Structure 1
Amino acid sequence: MSEQAVHLRCQRIGCNATFTLDHNPEGSCVFHDSGPIFHDGMKEWSCCKKKSHDFSLFMDIPGCKTGKHTTEKPVLTKAAPRSRNPTPVPSPISASTTATSAKETCSRCRQGFFCSDHGSQPNPKPVVPQAVAAAEVIVNASAPPRKTISITEPQICKNKGCGQTFKEIDNHDTACNYHPGPAVFHDRMRGWKCCDVHVKEFDEFMSIPPCTQGWHNADPSS
């Protein structure tokens, strides 16, 4: 097999598709060029500011940049701590400005992990108010019907760890390599419960090889 025919896996965050050296046009890769921020149970992409409390939904947020696929691991840029001015909410405890500033600039505190330097404890899972949950149900109930897809139309597989472009006519029970999940993010470790692999760094987590084979799926919610 020639070098050009070898399928390579793109290392950009949010892409993870496979490609060949002789077919890698500009714009074929959709990715995030900045790392994630984890704070108070919220997961946010620093490059496009899109966020979610749910880790699976967070990982499904599409990339905000386009370019060519690459096998080089990206050097993620870290967003500087941002000052926010939300609507004032009465607080029973007033922390000092110095202590607040120190915790905001500490990467462990900002990601919601235990920090012995500032006394931070792991953040509990946020409770979604019933009114918000009911609104989400109404939104999902009013979703438009699924579009009919031709078996020869290119689709992007949404299985975790895959991201390949495929056609349903070529789909089969070993076409996709993916993680059935769920993803585990706890105590400064990131990993997959399905294959029991856990690492400390986010880019290492994104590089954990898929552990399961199956059908490509462009709509995992179905």
Structure 2
Amino acid sequence: MSTPTPRSFEDDLTALPPCTRADGTYACQRLGCDAYYAPGPGNVPGSCVHHTKRPCFRDGVKSWPCCGKSSHDFGEFMSIKGCASGTHTCAKITYEDDEAAAVVERLPAAPAMPLSMEARARGEGDASACVRCKSGFYCAEHANSASPATTSTTEARETTPDVAQKVKPEVDLDTEQTCKNPGCGRKFRERDNADDACEHHSGAPIFHETKKGWSCCGKLVYDFDDFLKLAPCARGRHDADAKPIQFQSSSAKKT
């Protein structure tokens, strides 16, 4: 008596997740495929052409490590045909580098986000309750905790005239503008602007190999959506004339 062939994930229709498409098809989860398919007998070996490893982005070059093909142009990179074939699947694919990608790399901890004006008015910025002050570290919220070297540097900076200071153009107080501080991008009116109205990043974005983050926050993530969700670390006024930020790539930052 022959042993029956075990059913695959796709053959067992009861194991399939709920379909969200009106035609009953599923999106194949294999990299480089992007096809919609109907589970069942039509999903035969060879119907799916895909890549077996995650893409690599480094120094402006986009490549598929599984087949060694690469391109500087993103459109050409996306059109590189897969190097392996098999059946379509809507199950989550596990790749060799997933275990490494699951580890979020930490840089030195970023300073605490400055308190808002309302928080300082409530006395939340008291130096006696500040962890950084009690530990002997410099704290931007409390001037008396600054080291002598830091204080002298600050005084020298304040007494030196800034001849290159940019003069901002006059705008109507009710004109809607877009804040250009890194990580903000919100619409604002100068009439409503305040010293703590803008939550933004004080550093530059970092794109190192497959990792993304901000130089000011000390956190790197692998997923671009997670990068966009990284919480701001600084407060200040909205600025529609902020200087363009300089990106840090893997060629400029080494681990």
TM-score using structure 2 length: 0.33
Q: Which has the larger radius of gyration?
A: 2
